Amino acid sequence: MEPRTITVKGAREHNLQSVSLKLPRGKLICLTGVSGSGKSSFAFDTLFAEGQRRYLESLSSYARQFLGQLAKPDVDQITGLSPAIAIQQKTSGWNPRSTVGTITQIHDYLRVLFARVGRQHCTGCGEPIRAQTREQIIARILELEEDAKILVLAPVVRGQKGEYRDLFDDMIRQGYARARIDGEVAALSEAPALARHVRHDIEIVVDRLVISSKIRARLAEAVEAALKLGEGTLIVQVVDGDGVAKRSVGSKGKGKKKGAGKKTKGGRAGDLLLSSHYGCAKCDVSFESPSPQLFSFNSPAGMCLTCDGLGTTYDFDPDLMVPNPRKTFLKLAVAPMRTRIGRWRRHIFRGVAKHVGFDLKTPWGKLPEEAKHALLYGLGERHIQYDWRWSGGVYRHGDTFAGVIADLREKHRKAKSNFVRAYYEKFMRKAICPDCGGARLNAQALAVQVCGINLCELSTLSIEQAVDFIEGLELGPTERIIAEDVVKEIRGRLGFLLDVGLGYLTLDRSAPTLSGGESQRIRLASQIGAGLVGVLYILDEPSIGLHARDNERLLDSLLRLRDLGNTVIVVEHDEQTMRTADEIVDFGPGPGVRGGKVTAQGDLATIRASKKSITGRYLRGDEEIEVPKKRRVVRREKK
């Protein structure tokens, strides 16, 4: 039988003077008293600390060696203590990847919702993606150049960590001999040892073919096997005679296809990705079927690769790089270049100036925008001729030009000294990611919509607007069955955020920008959503900064936690919280060494009747904090 009380004997942490208490379990308990009287020492440094210590003691010795040991609080005995969770007044962390959606786990459920009932659209033309039949896949492969040598690959591992020795053995037993492992084709019997903590891509080589009109039957068998092994997705890699991948997979008579030679979603340069699930016939592009990982900006499968899922980039700003536009480029108008431009670099810049058509002796402020852009950001894939003059004549050579900023990025990335890195960062500024526009996700994830809205657009809605959207979801009969449980969880967690007065926040709000009170209420809403029972919750002044209306919502949430079967202890000065609590413990009578004692304990009537309790005197109305009749006049200095 579970104990009905939490019994504490002889608590002496900090200024507590051998406090002994019996607290009822399953109740809302308010610890109050003057500041410094020992409330937090009792709640956090005694009850919570002992709860954490006992939890660590329950773990195996192997786990404890990594977690360390917690000191036992200075207390004689505590009995009836439940697993403890503290929700304190502090920010939720400085990790820029954490958002309101991830902290409350709403984003996790939204990822499942979009993966299961979302409608994929083409990233190129925006048209809805439809499944490709096996005949369409075969016809697309046969469009490749005549006599082209190809590998038909079945992707079985995509960006996952592990050694995969069992997978290789299983594939050998099924009759497969080769696999492309992280871009390199190798025999399965001689597969390299993979690092367990590194992400790998593994594609099984189903067949090796030469494109001709006579291979249709064999190709059909290879496609069928690859789609089965790759769960609806296959990859075609065009190789040369030595087995080296070619750069493009153009169709015969059509030259290079749009997107050929680029890294496709789920493949590598030169791959042709084909799927029986999703494909755009208009743009001739295939996609892997959406998975929850696709909608995570913390996963390589879903994050924008330009900003690594942060939504912002930290890059060199041209306005900061040129403090004195009256200087010429060769006189170091671009300040972070630092050192004098030598002969070799000078002839490179002269080649760029000759190609674009401007004079390097012109002051930076008078250069045309095209010239500035060429010097800073380069000329892309354009081939430039450079003239290197020396005593033996002129040496002409050609190359591309990446730009000054590309060189500075590399120097900043490789800088080992904090001093050097800080120097470059003086010329850098945070900006919205140019590729994802701050959405954090890649193009395929943003092309999936539910009721005409993608995950990023939904995350920018306020909590109140998101509730309206979820309530108004128009799903088909099948989609409604699939999404029923997920929508229920999303609706409940959004409702908890509304209950604690956070309806104005958005799900994409970054954790470092939240105030301490907002962070605490978000964690409180997360705990309500978790539905734990038999837990001891300890909160540190959750009413700070709340409007009276929101305070009522907060108390309703605390009562809901209590009604679930939990014990809720609140360190609080708020009168409304005291009137709502089932039990009040008043510490005092003063702060510091004059406190550390329990002056009164019981319900509201007991505290009001106590003559020793300072809180009781204020609750009775014997004492009050008067509103000043005259305010001090604030004098503003004249500018």
Indicate whether 397 pLDDT > 90: no
What local confidence, expressed as pLDDT, does residue 268 receive? 52
Q: Is 357 a domain residue?
A: yes
Q: Is 490 a domain residue?
A: no
Task: Please check whether residues 322 and 279 belong to one and the same domain.
Answer: no
What local confidence, expressed as pLDDT, does residue 264 receive? 39
CATH of the domain at 360: 1.10.8.280
Q: Is 473 a domain residue?
A: no
The total domain count for the chain is: 3
**Ramachandran assignment for 559, one of left (phi > 0), alpha (psi -120 to 50 degrees), beta (any other):** alpha
Q: Which of 118-127, 319-328, 499-508 has the lowest mean pLDDT?
A: 118-127
What local confidence, expressed as pLDDT, does residue 393 receive? 83
Which of 608, 632, 635, 637 lies closest to 621 in space, CA to CA?
A: 608
Name the pLDDT band for 430 (thresholds 50, 70, 90): confident
Task: Please check whether residues 254 and 138 belong to one and the same domain.
Answer: yes
pLDDT in tens, 404-413: 999 998 998 8
What local confidence, expressed as pLDDT, does residue 282 receive? 62
pLDDT in tens, 339-373: 888 888 899 999 999 999 999 999 999 999 999 99
pLDDT in tens, 248-271: 455 454 443 333 333 334 445 467
Task: Please check whether residues 267 and 134 belong to one and the same domain.
Answer: yes
What local confidence, expressed as pLDDT, does residue 92 receive? 53
pLDDT in tens, 153-198: 999 998 888 999 999 999 999 999 999 999 899 999 988 899 888 8
Task: Please check whether residues 64 and 132 belong to one and the same domain.
Answer: no
Q: Cite the beta strand spans of 46-111 per DSSP E.
A: 77-79, 84-87
Task: Please check whether residues 251 and 327 belong to one and the same domain.
Answer: no
The proportion of the chain whose per-residue pLDDT surpasses 70, expressed as a percent, equals 92
Domain boundary among 403, 430, 457: 430
Tell me whether strands 583-588 and 597-602 are parallel, antiparallel or unpaired.
Answer: antiparallel
Task: Please check whether residues 181 and 320 belong to one and the same domain.
Answer: no
Q: Is 570 a domain residue?
A: yes
Q: Which of 11-20, 40-49, 282-291 has the lowest mean pLDDT?
A: 282-291
Which of 544, 582, 586 lies closest to 563 in space, CA to CA?
A: 582
Mean pLDDT of the chain: 86
**417, 424 Cβ separation under 8 angstroms:** no
Interhelix angle 418-425/404-414, nearest 10 degrees: 150
Task: Please check whether residues 138 and 274 belong to one and the same domain.
Answer: yes
Half-sphere exposure of 217 (CA within 13 A, CB side): 1
What local confidence, expressed as pLDDT, does residue 267 receive? 46
CATH of the domain at 40: 3.40.50.300
CATH of the domain at 259: 3.30.190.20
CB-based burial label for 588 (10 Å; 0-12, 13-18, 19+): buried
Task: Please check whether residues 177 and 41 belong to one and the same domain.
Answer: no
Task: Please check whether residues 326 and 265 belong to one and the same domain.
Answer: no
For residue 589, say if its preceding peptide bond is cis, omega within 30 degrees of 0.
yes
Task: Please check whether residues 145 and 41 belong to one and the same domain.
Answer: no
The pTM of the whole model exceeds 0.75? no
Domain boundary among 375, 403, 430: 430
Mean pLDDT of 33-40: 91
Task: Please check whether residues 271 and 333 belong to one and the same domain.
Answer: no
Distance CA 59, CA 613 (A): 42
Q: Is 451 a domain residue?
A: no
Q: Is 496 a domain residue?
A: no
What local confidence, expressed as pLDDT, does residue 106 receive? 93
Element (H, E) at 429: strand 428-432
What local confidence, expressed as pLDDT, does residue 611 receive? 87
* End-to-end Cα distance, the chain: 74
The order of strands in the sheet holding 28-33 is: 84-87, 536-540, 567-571, 28-33, 583-588, 597-602
**What angle (nearest 5°) sits at the alpha carbon of residue 32, between those of residues 589 and 52?**
115
Q: Is 155 a domain residue?
A: yes
Indicate whether 34 pLDDT > 80: yes
pLDDT in tens, 495-536: 888 888 888 999 999 888 888 778 878 888 888 777 788 999
Q: Is 297 a domain residue?
A: no
Domain of residue 365, residue span:
315-430
CB-based burial label for 49 (10 Å; 0-12, 13-18, 19+): buried
Domain boundary among 430, 448, 482: 430
Task: Please check whether residues 190 and 270 belong to one and the same domain.
Answer: yes
Residue 161: strand pairing partners: 199
Sign of CA dihedral 495, 498, 502, 503: positive
What local confidence, expressed as pLDDT, does residue 204 receive? 95
Coil, strand or helix at 415: coil
Tell me whether strands 285-287 and 278-280 are parallel, antiparallel or unpaired.
Answer: antiparallel
